Amino acid sequence: MSSAKFETLVDLFERSVKQFKTKDLFGVKKDGRWVWTTYGEVGKLVDDFRAGLASLGVKRGDNVAIISNNRIEWAVAAYACYGLGAALVPMYEAQLPKEWAFIVNDCSAVALIAATEEIYQKAQEIPEKAPSLKHIIGLGRPKSEPTSYEALLEAGAKSPVPAIKPTPADTACLIYTSGTTGNPKGVILSHGNIASNINAVHEILPLVTDDRSLSFLPWAHSFGHTCELHALLSLGGAMALAEGVDKIIGNLAEVHPTMLCSVPRIFNRIYDGVNKQMAGKPKPIQALFKAGIAAATKKRKEGAGSLSIGEKIQLALADKLVFSKIRAKFGGRMKYAFSGGAALSREVAEFIDALGITVYEGYGLTETSPIATANRPGSHRIGSVGKAIPHVKIVIDKEASGDPKHGEIVIYGPNIMQGYHNRDEENQAVFTEDRGFRTGDLGYLDDEGYLYITGRIKEQYKLENGKYVSPAPLEEQLKLSPYILNAMVYGDNRLYNVALVAIDVEAVKTWAQGHGLSFESDAAMCDSARVKELVMDEIQKYSAEWKGFEKIQKVTLTSEDFTTQNGLLTPSLKVKRRVVWQRYGQQIEALYAEGKSKGQDAATAA
């Protein structure tokens, strides 16, 4: 832990480059081996690119957009922008071009950095919809082009431009999150917002200069952006950039990280993978594994003194013969992991903790920079999302829920965003009179200050991978099918979305007759594999333009329409989700149970 205090991200970067000049910062796998770039080398790239951007006219108060996955150039662009007093506006390579255009126009970006040739070519159409955009910079374009990354580095090296000193109130980035009405909204985060999070990390988490991570969480997301990139860089740590999500396990063994920042989906994969591997081991090894997990869990909950001699022996043997081999697959040095973005199940957290890797779960939103609460050494309670970080206050507004214990989580502190860009009405709605941020999440605080998340006020939910899903627009799209009367999409804290579909019985009967099918009852029709196949074909047809993580993976059918009369719709014809769940929850849950029993890998949720 460090006592360093940062006011801006320029301050943070310059201090780290000076202090850790010869240490490795970023690792990239090239031609089968990991090649590392030092703090000093990255510092030189930032200096040159900052001057290159300045030669294009980028100045204080401007916005510079980037479409890129994690790479060294992403970090170079970010810190170069900060040093000009400009803000970075990150976007995802996987986003639709129309979303790129909307964001570039909404934030009035003056320059756009494109990671790949394909993105560079698609970006040529953006200026028609975003007149503010003057320059498109291709990271892979030849040096002969004056606005290529290489050309700007060369130009900047010849005409240096020193970094300015932004104030804590200056905007560092606009991170766009999906809105409930379709278009994303830009969260304005200042240097002071993010620096307050980094200072809290230094104060409460056990990170040290020798720590190393495998980076796969997108830096375009606030979790990876703050908790990994800025936090590790501020401490002199190192980051190996993963080759891809599908190569995470192999990369872990190669780079030997000491820590991991991840969403629950990855931890769930580890949990499932280890259990499947153990299922194929000899019975004595399986028994030792289970006994070791039980002993480790008991030790964590009740203390080492609670273990009998037999349990201590079992734990020692399990650690030597089983757990250590599992840890070796993760590089052999991993001490702790940090989970956020969605709820991590208690079972998975306890399992990974028992293997000897402590998982610290936290909570926050893009609007809170993002950390608001976190478990930490000395204050660690599995099942909770921890206590408020330093200088942050959590208030439970019970009036919002009408519940004596649970209420809307309201957050106060220096980490709270400046507001949503160009969204005055939404800003008025999310801020209290005394500048508290209304999260829209439900939760409660226990007597010791640990926060527990229990649900969401709004319909929007997160999948396990941290992606937000707004079900209502998706449901409206599904109802365009002649075979679907109504639907409820579900997937809160799940790997993928499923749907309860109310079929149009008469329309399906007509289809069935045309295919030589008949059913004894409406219930038999809903259970028919052929009818489910029909409905899934319809869903695929009407969800063709959805994002991958929004797709429906499974359905359960009912012949009962949603109406105001049966209580499944409000007077304004909105789905009463809680009532639907009470009536059909078991059917919906069964869809996920089927996936587990078949070992389904819902990779499409990524």
Q: Model confidence at 595, in pLDDT bands (50, 70, 90)?
A: low
Residues 480-512 as b or e (16 or more Cβ within 10 Å = b): ebebbbbbbbbbbebbbbbbbbbbbbeebbebb
pLDDT tens per residue across span 522-575: 999 999 999 999 999 999 998 998 999 999 999 999 999 998 778 888 644 668
pLDDT value at residue 399: 85
Type and span of the H or E element at 292: helix 283-302
pLDDT value at residue 597: 41
* Residue range 479-493: mean pLDDT, rounded: 91
Asked if the model's pLDDT at residue 345 lies above 50, the reply is: yes
Could you check whether 9-166+217-245 and 266-456 share the same CATH topology?
yes
* Residue range 324-352: mean pLDDT, rounded: 88
Q: What percent of the chain has pLDDT over 90?
A: 78
Give the pair of three-digit tokens for residue 482: 């002649």
pLDDT value at residue 462: 86
Q: Model confidence at 103, in pLDDT bands (50, 70, 90)?
A: very high
Asked if the model's pLDDT at residue 310 lies above 50, the reply is: yes
What's domain 266-456's architecture?
3-Layer(aba) Sandwich (3.40)
* Residue range 101-114: mean pLDDT, rounded: 98
φ, ψ of residue 453 in degrees (nearest 5): -95, 130
Q: Is domain 463-605 annotated with CATH 3.30.300.30?
A: yes
pLDDT value at residue 13: 99
Domains of the chain, residue spans: 9-166+217-245, 266-456, 463-605
pLDDT value at residue 122: 97
pLDDT value at residue 111: 99
Q: Model confidence at 603, in pLDDT bands (50, 70, 90)?
A: very low
Q: State the DSSP code for 159.
A: S
**Do 55 and 152 form a contact (C-beta atoms < 8 A)?**
yes
Asked if the model's pLDDT at residue 459 lies above 90, the reply is: no
Asked if the model's pLDDT at residue 97 lies above 50, the reply is: yes
- Rounded Cα distance between 535 and 529, Å, is 10
pLDDT value at residue 183: 79
Mean pLDDT taken over the chain: 92
Q: Model confidence at 429, in pLDDT bands (50, 70, 90)?
A: very high
Q: Model confidence at 601, in pLDDT bands (50, 70, 90)?
A: very low
What's domain 9-166+217-245's architecture?
3-Layer(aba) Sandwich (3.40)
